[in-house]
Structure formats: structure tokens, C-alpha cells
């Protein structure tokens, strides 16, 4: 296999600085190196003092860690973002149409565009949701779509996150830190603002309240202070000015959800939940769940409360459903997909399985229900023994896996111990769907800090960068 | 506000106040032991203190003998003792952590810093001679917490429930401290005006920061009658039962909800009894009997507050 050149966000193949990084390169050349080191330390202090941390599961000491923040921004030109935004809007619209269809008439299955057993036999398909009508027919109110660039810089969708996508607080905190540390850079660039995200989110959540509710009460449901993303839950609730509730704060009486307040029970209309489906209602799902609210599903099915994201969205972002998303765009919207999928082999198909098994050392194999970068094989980086072990796991249950070519993800200059060096990045824009489909420009850029690493997950040594979408006038 | 949030704030305040009063009691005992070092007096003193804080049974189940060092250790640091100072400060911080978003960052940082320093103090205080410093430190951190809460937090419902916790706990603690003294020093309660052990009674006053106050108010000899009057009935004395119950009642009136009517009525009853009561009646009944009845009524109030505001009856 010919090793593909890595697309560099800042430099062209010949080493010239790309036009949209020109002002940054000039600033960098003018700024003394030790002042930059100082800024990096200052950034660390800022994040630690504000307690912008995440907890790591399986870490016995229970310590909270900082997510490394890199001070080199990832810059996206206006026209490039326009294209992405159209593609994201199209894709999320199609995904929501698919969810509505799957839980109603299942036309796409009857038309044979997606194999019925692929959907109906999937554990992510929730029969409880069949036939329930949701306001605006929206299921995934908040979608985090992971994008990567490869080859000559073309964007691909790596995966759709439609359950409880997280990370948006880092997008906001990264911007706040950058503006505080480098105000002079913002004078050289017109960067599109992202700070209104909490307002957009609240507006979206209010727009999908049950019919007839005029001034809906929205709450954020968290699993509690020990959850890895608790900082984000507390942050978003505070920014939106809504109550941060735990399961024990809510109860259901006669199909109405209430929260317990010092002034007595108060009706709740919309629950922005950061708790997984399985834990939402011990009467309907896992009976051992202490995080949920008994009877919530009954109230939900009766249309008395809206849960965001809806229960059962996992059927649309499952890795085994992913290969069919372009087909959804064509089927529901009658359009050609603007955003491309990464070519994917579906191992439940015999011919795909045979190809993948013959080429394991060149491919990335993913477990369809895996998340957080766990349960995957990166062929080119794996030892022969690891590959053989993984081969046995695939053969034991091929339907659990998909495979993709190893993409050489684009790289962005990043400060590491040795100075500035390219590191692989991805991009997670957050798409909000309510009455309208909206998003703030950009999203969360995650960066794999270890040299050569392709895994950007925060649980595995990934960091974040501020993402700058430039205003059109600037170019 | 969420009942759970109010509950965390209320207990954050109660535990902080309790830690302070435990430190006050231990401090006074240590000072008194310096004056009278007979073994049986010391033993009796510490047995009485352990009883005051409701820990005598648990202590005797875990230890064979009552000595000053062991009793201090038990009340200050014993990890298996859910009523220890260390445990109170742990719980205060835990409750604050759960409602970090509701507190000002100064308040959170103060309680968090107390907790962090406590772990350091625990090692130092093991070297005995610095126990006095430790008690001073606990009192100081409690003053600091109260100050930062009053000085930085929005004066809304969150502050109301914090104050409710503080004053209810203090009313309880003052009553217990007074009760313990009367048990120890006035077994027959026959002669409340008699000249008594000056040091013992002044120590009691010092333990509730009332020594100078007593001088200012009475300008006379220290007698058990006046000590009881000051700590029960004096309106302006910030640790007196009357002052504390005034504050509790005022707060309950402000946060009243649809089902708290009976609770407000009962707090009003307690408050009125203190407002119009006289020390002679208390002495006639017996100070210890009076305090026992007061403690049972504040404990009833605590249960009613929990029921009306902090946990819903729909709780499983």
C-alpha cells in the first residue's frame, strides 16, 4: 500500500502557509517563544481553577483530570464551512426522518433500501417507541457529527452521535480561554462567534415541548457528580439557567413528570437528559437503575413530557446503520448526499468479510456497538499477534463488526514538548434540531496528542483545540 | 428551588455549625483539665461530654476506659464515629460539592480548602500539644464559612435554607452544652443562686463565647441562674436559644409553602415560649427537664422541615 501524504491544515504540500493561516503564521513569527510557553501555562491554570475536568472510569483514585487544551487554533475558511453546514443540515434531517420512519411505517425497510433485519433485530431498536408521535417529528435534537479530513483534504463523516453527544462545553471554554489569552489574534481575524450555543440549545429544547404548553419548564437530567461529563452537565444547566436534576429529584404521578422543589411539586415539560436509554426508567428498562425515574416512559408515551434526545435514537447512529445513511438522504430528501461516508465493509456480508479478513493489516475494524475508541483494531499499527487475536473475535460473530480503510487523518500544528508539530485532528459540530435545524459555526476539534496516534478520544490521551470558522468578509 | 439542593445547603450549614460547637466543647474541657487534674474528675468530665454529644454508648462499645486523649481522639478524628469533627467537615464539604453550581465560587473554595487542610491537621494534631490550635482552627473556619456565605451569596432561598440549618443546629448545640453543665455541676438544682465554682461556670460561658457578654449584661457574680437566663432567654446573645429560634422562625415564615403551615405554627410556639418565658419557671421545672423538652421540640421541628421542604412525601 502506498503511504498517502497527510493533509496538513496549515501548510500546502510544498510547505507554503495556506492563505487562511497566513495572519496566524505572521503572528507566530513575531511572538517570542517564551511568551508562548507562558501562555500555555496560563491556559493550564485557567482550566484547573475553573474545574474544567472529566473523571476517568476505572481510575481507582477517582481523580479528575484536565483535558489537554492546545493553543493553536484550527481554522476553517467561510466557504468551506458553508458547504459543511449544508451537508450537516441535510444529513441530520435525513437521520431524523429515518428515526421517525423506523418507529412508524418503516417505508425505507419496505422499499428494501435497508435490510429489515438490520434494523428490527438490532438491540438499539426500541419497540417501545413504535407508533409514538413526537413534537416536530424530531428524535435527535442534539447531534454530534464527527468529521475527519483525508486525502487531499476532503471531509468524511466518521460517525454520527445521536444519543447523548458530549464535548460542547469544551468548545465554549476553549473559545473563552483563547480570547482571554490571545486577544491580539482576534484583532487579526474575524472569527464567527460560538458563545450563543446555550441560547440556541434552550430555544431548541423549548420549541419541542409537548403541544399546548406555553411556557415549558426544561431541566437537565444528569447521572450525578460522579459521571465523567458532570462538569459539562453543571455548566450547561447554569448557562441555560435551568435546573440540574438527578433521577431522585423527579417523580411521575398520573403520567405527569414533576420535580420536587421547596415550594412543592413542579411540572416538568422537557427533559434534556444526559443519561443513557437503559437507565432512564427502572420500570421499563434496567430495573437496577438508580439514575432514572420510575414511570417516565409511561409519561413519555402519553406525550406529557419530551425527552431529548428521544429514546431509541441509537438505531440511527449504530455503526452497522452508518453505511446506509447516504441511502437515507436519497430516500427521504431526494437529494445526493453533500457529505461523504468513509467507504465501509459490512462484515455480515460474506464478500465483505472475506475481503476484510484477507486485508486486516491495512484496515480499521470497529465493533458496531463500541464507543470511545474502545474495541477497535487499527491494522497498520497492530502487531501480528493482535491482528490474529482480533481475527478470532471477528470470526466468532462477524455481524458485530464493520471495517474501513485506514484514513490518514489531516493534521494541524500543535504544541508538544518538542515545540510545534503536526497532530491528527477531527471535528465534531453540534447540530440542533427543533422547529429549525441550527448550529453554531465550527464545533469541537479534538486532537490526538501522541505522535502518529489516530485516537482523539479524551479518555485515551486526546486534547482539544479552539475551532475558528472565519467570517465571510475576512477572506 | 430543588428540594435536593435545599437539603444539601441545609446540611452543609448544619455540619459546619456542629463541627464548630464540638470544637468549642472540647476546647473548654481541655482548659478545665489543666486546672483540676484529678483522674476521677477528668473521667467524669469526659463521660459527660461524650453523653452530651450522644456518643457515650458508641464510645464505650469501642474503648475500655475513658481518658482525655482517647475522648478527644474519638470526638475529633475517629473515622468510625459519624459524629466526629472530621466527619462533620467531610459531610459539609460533600454537601457543598453536590450543589457547587448553587454556591458562589468563594463559598465552595472555602469549604473545599477547610477539607483539604483538615487532612493535614489530622496528622499534626496527633502530636497532642497542638490540639488547642486545632479547635481554634475549626472555629475559625466555621466563622470564615459563615462570613463568605453571608458576604457573597445571593440573598435568596438558597441562603434561607443555609441559615435555617445554621440556627437550628446552634439552638440544639447550645441546649446540649448547657444541659451537660447542669448535669455535671448542679446535680440537685436546689440552690441556683449559690456561689459556685467560678472556673467551671466561666468555662461554660467561654465555650459559647459568652464570658464577656455575661460581664457586660450582668456586671455581677457568675451564678447558674444568670448563666441559664443568658443562654436561654437573652434575645441579643447570638448563641442563645431565643436568638436561634427567632431566626429559625423568621426563616420559616419567609420560605413557607403550601404544606408547611403546621411547621411554622410550631416554630412560632417555641419562639413565643422563649420570648415570654421567665427563668424562674425554668428553675421551678428544673433546667435539665426544660432543656430536654426543648431538644425534643427542635428535633421535631427538624423532622418537619425535612418533610415539608427537603424530601417529598412521594419519596419512595
Q: For chain A, which domains are there? A: 343-406 (3.30.1490.270)
Last residue within a domain, chosen from B113, B131, B153: B153
Q: Average per-residue pLDDT in chain A?
A: 90
Cβ of A260 under 8 Å from any chain B Cβ?
yes
pLDDT tens for each residue of A376-417:
888 888 899 999 999 999 999 998 899 999 888 899 999 887
Cβ of B116 under 8 Å from any chain A Cβ?
no
Do B236 and B124 lie in one domain? The reply is: no
**Which of B3, B9, B161 is the best substitution to test chain A (most A C-beta atoms within 10 A)?**
B3
**B249-258 long-range CB contacts below 8 Å, 24 or more apart?**
B251/B160, B251/B163, B251/B164, B251/B167, B252/B164, B252/B305, B254/B160, B255/A262, B255/B157, B255/B160, B255/B161, B255/B164, B255/B309, B257/A262, B257/A263, B257/A264, B257/B308, B257/B309, B258/A263, B258/A264
Domain total of chain B: 2
Do B286 and B175 lie in one domain? The reply is: yes
Do B94 and B187 lie in one domain? The reply is: no
Cβ of B259 under 8 Å from any chain A Cβ?
yes
Dihedral Cα B10, B14, B15, B21, nearest 10 deg? 170
pLDDT greater than 50 at residue B34: yes
Who among A244, A263, A294 is closest to B257 (CB)?
A263
Residue-range definition of the domain harbouring residue B111: 1-153
Do B181 and B145 lie in one domain? The reply is: no
Do B138 and B189 lie in one domain? The reply is: no
Q: Whole-model pTM?
A: 0.82
Give me the mean pLDDT over the B118-133 stretch: 72
pLDDT greater than 50 at residue A59: no
pLDDT greater than 90 at residue B38: no
Residue of B273, B252, B254 lying closest to B263 (CA atoms): B252
Last residue within a domain, chosen from B153, B184, B210: B153
Do B116 and B165 lie in one domain? The reply is: no
Do B262 and B315 lie in one domain? The reply is: yes
ipTM above 0.85, yes or no: no
Do B30 and B130 lie in one domain? The reply is: yes
pLDDT greater than 60 at residue B212: yes
Give me the mean pLDDT over the A42-59 stretch: 66
Q: Please judge whether A251 and B312 are an interchain contact, meaning their C-beta atoms are less than 8 angstroms apart.
A: yes
Render the burial of A294-318: b for 16+ CB within 10 Å, e for the rest: bbbbbbbbeebbbbbbbbbbbbbbb
Last residue within a domain, chosen from B153, B169, B203: B153
Do B146 and B163 lie in one domain? The reply is: no
**Secondary structure (H, E, C), B65-134:** CCCHHHHHHHHHCCCCCCCCHHHHHHHHHHHHHHCCCCCCHHHHHHHHHHHHHHHHHHHHHCCCCCHHHH
pLDDT greater than 80 at residue B127: no
A471 DSSP assignment: P
CA angle A430, A432, A437 (to 5 degrees): 125
Do B286 and B194 lie in one domain? The reply is: yes
Lowest-confidence pick of A76-80, A252-256, B177-181, B226-230: B177-181
Cβ of A12 under 8 Å from any chain B Cβ?
no
Cβ of A234 under 8 Å from any chain B Cβ?
yes
pLDDT tens for each residue of B213-249:
999 999 888 888 999 999 999 999 999 999 999 999 9
Dihedral Cα B241, B246, B248, B253, nearest 10 deg? 160
Do B41 and B113 lie in one domain? The reply is: yes
Residue of A432, A377, A460 lying closest to A168 (CA atoms): A432
Which chain B residue has the Cα nearest residue A246? B4
Angle formed by the axes of helices B39-52 and B3-35, nearest 10°: 170
Q: Please judge whether A260 and B312 are an interchain contact, meaning their C-beta atoms are less than 8 angstroms apart.
A: yes
pLDDT greater than 50 at residue A62: no
Determine the length of chain B: 316
CB A46 within 8 A of CB A180: yes
Do B36 and B175 lie in one domain? The reply is: no
The pLDDT score that the predictor gives to residue A459 is: 65
Q: Please judge whether A265 and B161 are an interchain contact, meaning their C-beta atoms are less than 8 angstroms apart.
A: no
Show the cell assigned to B145. 464559612
Q: How far apart are CA A249 and CA A99, in angstroms?
A: 30
Who among B100, B161, B257 is closest to A264 (CB)?
B257
pLDDT greater than 60 at residue B115: yes
The pLDDT score that the predictor gives to residue B313 is: 47
Amino acid at each position: 500500500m502506498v503511504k498517502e501524504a497527510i493533509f496538513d491544515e496549515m501548510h500546502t504540500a510544498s510547505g507554503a502557509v495556506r492563505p487562511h493561516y497566513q495572519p496566524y503564521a505572521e503572528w507566530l513569527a513575531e511572538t517570542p517563544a517564551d511568551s508562548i510557553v507562558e501562555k500555555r501555562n496560563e491556559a493550564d491554570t485557567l482550566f484547573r481553577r475553573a474545574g474544567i475536568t472529566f473523571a476517568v472510569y476505572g481510575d481507582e483514585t477517582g481523580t479528575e483530570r484536565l483535558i489537554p487544551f492546545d493553543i493553536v487554533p484550527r481554522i476553517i475558511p467561510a466557504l468551506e464551512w458553508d458547504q459543511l453546514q449544508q451537508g450537516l443540515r441535510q444529513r441530520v434531517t435525513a437521520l431524523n426522518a429515518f428515526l421517525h420512519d423506523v418507529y412508524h411505517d418503516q417505508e425505507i425497510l419496505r422499499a428494501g433500501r435497508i435490510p429489515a433485519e438490520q434494523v428490527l433485530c438490532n438491540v438499539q431498536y426500541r419497540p417501545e417507541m413504535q407508533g409514538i408521535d413526537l413534537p416536530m417529528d424530531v428524535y435527535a435534537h442534539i447531534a454530534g457529527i464527527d468529521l475527519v479530513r483525508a486525502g487531499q483534504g476532503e471531509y468524511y463523516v466518521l460517525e454520527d452521535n445521536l444519543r447523548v453527544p458530549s464535548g460542547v462545553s469544551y468548545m465554549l471554554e476553549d473559545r473563552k480561554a483563547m480570547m482571554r489569552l490571545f486577544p491580539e489574534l482576534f484583532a487579526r481575524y474575524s472569527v464567527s462567534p460560538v458563545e450563543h450555543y446555550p441560547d440556541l440549545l434552550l430555544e431548541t429544547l423549548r420549541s419541542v415541548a409537548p403541544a399546548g404548553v406555553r411556557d415549558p419548564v426544561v431541566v437537565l437530567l444528569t447521572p450525578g457528580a460522579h459521571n465523567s461529563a458532570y462538569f459539562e452537565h453543571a455548566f450547561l444547566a447554569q448557562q441555560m439557567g435551568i435546573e440540574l436534576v438527578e433521577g431522585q429529584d423527579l417523580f411521575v404521578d398520573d403520567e405527569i413528570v414533576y420535580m420536587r422543589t421547596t415550594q412543592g411539586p413542579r411540572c416538568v415539560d422537557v427533559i434534556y437528559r444526559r443519561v443513557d436509554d437503559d437507565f432512564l426508567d427502572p420500570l421499563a428498562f434496567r430495573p437496577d437503575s438508580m439514575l432514572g425515574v420510575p414511570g417516565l416512559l409511561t409519561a413519555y408515551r402519553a406525550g406529557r413530557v419530551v425527552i431529548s434526545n428521544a429514546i431509541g435514537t441509537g438505531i440511527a447512529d449504530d455503526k452497522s446503520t452508518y453505511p446506509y445513511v447516504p441511502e437515507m438522504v436519497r430516500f427521504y430528501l431526494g437529494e445526493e448526499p453533500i457529505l461523504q461516508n468513509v467507504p465501509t465493509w459490512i462484515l455480515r456480508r460474506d464478500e465483505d468479510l472475506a475481503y476484510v479478513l484477507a486485508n486486516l493489516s491495512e484496515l480499521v475494524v470497529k465493533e458496531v456497538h463500541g464507543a470511545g475508541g474502545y474495541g477497535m483494531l487499527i491494522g497498520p499499527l497492530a502487531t501480528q499477534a493482535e491482528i490474529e487475536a482480533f481475527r478470532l473475535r471477528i470470526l466468532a460473530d462477524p455481524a458485530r463488526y464493520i471495517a474501513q480503510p485506514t484514513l490518514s487523518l489531516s493534521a494541524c500544528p500543535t504544541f508538544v514538548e518538542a515545540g510545534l508539530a503536526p497532530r491528527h485532528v477531527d471535528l465534531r459540530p453540534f447540530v440542533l434540531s427543533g422547529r429549525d435545524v441550527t448550529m453554531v459555526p465550527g464545533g469541537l476539534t479534538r486532537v490526538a496528542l501522541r505522535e502518529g496516534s489516530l485516537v482523539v478520544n479524551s479518555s485515551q490521551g486526546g486534547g482539544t483545540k479552539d475551532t475558528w470558522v472565519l467570517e465571510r468578509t475576512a477572506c | 428551588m430543588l428540594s435536593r439542593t435545599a437539603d444539601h445547603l441545609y446540611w452543609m450549614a448544619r455540619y459546619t455549625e456542629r463541627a464548630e460547637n464540638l470544637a468549642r466543647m472540647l476546647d473548654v474541657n481541655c482548659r478545665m483539665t489543666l486546672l483540676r487534674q484529678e483522674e476521677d474528675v477528668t473521667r467524669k468530665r469526659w463521660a459527660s461530654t461524650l453523653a452530651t454529644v450522644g456518643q457515650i454508648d458508641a464510645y464505650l462499645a469501642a474503648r475500655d476506659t475513658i481518658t482525655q486523649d482517647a475522648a478527644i481522639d474519638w470526638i475529633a478524628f475517629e473515622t468510625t464515629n459519624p459524629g466526629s469533627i472530621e466527619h462533620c467537615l467531610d459531610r459539609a464539604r460533600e454537601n457543598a460539592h453536590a450543589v457547587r453550581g448553587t454556591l458562589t465560587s468563594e463559598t465552595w473554595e472555602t469549604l473545599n480548602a477547610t477539607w483539604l487542610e483538615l487532612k493535614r491537621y489530622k496528622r499534626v494534631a496527633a502530636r497532642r500539644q497542638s490540639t488547642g490550635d486545632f479547635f481554634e482552627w475549626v472555629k475559625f473556619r466555621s466563622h470564615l464559612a459563615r462570613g463568605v456565605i453571608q458576604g457573597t451569596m445571593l440573598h435568596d432561598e438558597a441562603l434561607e435554607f443555609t441559615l435555617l440549618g445554621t440556627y437550628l443546629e446552634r439552638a440544639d448545640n447550645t441546649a446540649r452544652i448547657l444541659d451537660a453543665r447542669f448535669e455535671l455541676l448542679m446535680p440537685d438544682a436546689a440552690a441556683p443562686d449559690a456561689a459556685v465554682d467560678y472556673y467551671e461556670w466561666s468555662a461554660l460561658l467561654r465555650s459559647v463565647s459568652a464570658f464577656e457578654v455575661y460581664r457586660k449584661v450582668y456586671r455581677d457574680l457568675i451564678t447558674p441562674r444568670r448563666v441559664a437566663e443568658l443562654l436561654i432567654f437573652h434575645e441579643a446573645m447570638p448563641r442563645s436559644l431565643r436568638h436561634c429560634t427567632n431566626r429559625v422562625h423568621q426563616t420559616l415564615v419567609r420560605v413557607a409553602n403550601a404544606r408547611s403551615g403546621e411547621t411554622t405554627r410550631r416554630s412560632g410556639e417555641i419562639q413565643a415560649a422563649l420570648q415570654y418565658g421567665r427563668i424562674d419557671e425554668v428553675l421551678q421545672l428544673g433546667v435539665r427537664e426544660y432543656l430536654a423538652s426543648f431538644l425534643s421540640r427542635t428535633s421535631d421541628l427538624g423532622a418537619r422541615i425535612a418533610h415539608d421542604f427537603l424530601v417529598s412525601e412521594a419519596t419512595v
